[in-house]
Amino acid sequence: MSARKLKEFLDSQAVKYVKLSHSTAYTAHEIAQSLHISGRKIAKTVMVFIDGKMVMAVLPANRSVNFDHFQKAIGAKKIELATEGQFKGMFPDCELGAMPPFGNLYGMEVYADQHLTEDDEIFFNACTHSELIEMSYIDYERLVKPKLVKLT
């Protein structure tokens, strides 16, 4: 798989970032342990349906979505977790489950947990289970314009 779309976007925006390689890992927690990075700095992407519309929820790897908090924060009637089968073909340039938290590249809304703003940098999957991108949180927020809410 290729992170070309992500790389081209970051380069076109003159964003400084570092691409890190690691042994294959399928969860953000495994990646954090492998690279000795705090789980709070790794942004994991969770696909959810908000009132029937699929969106990205982005949160620190050391936290879980609190659906009650999330629902109240945005005034939704129903929020539910999407299955891999429901988003399998939506990220053709990414390995399944390794999509970066850039919903804007895929025509999708992004909700980010407020805790991500607490660190200067974030790390996230670069479309594979063996590559990670590190960049400043400020640049991420400027490029993606996520809706900051209490997800956890």
Smallest CA-to-CA distance from 135 within 37, 35, 10 is with 10
Entry pTM: 0.92
Look at residue 122 and give its three-state secondary structure. strand
Please report the domains of the chain, with CATH numbers, ordered by start residue. Answer: 4-143 (3.90.960.10)
Q: pLDDT digit of tens for each residue in the chain (152 aa)?
A: 457 889 999 999 999 999 998 888 888 778 888 888 888 999 999 999 999 999 999 999 999 999 999 999 999 999 999 999 999 989 999 999 999 999 999 999 999 999 999 999 999 999 999 999 999 999 999 999 999 998 98
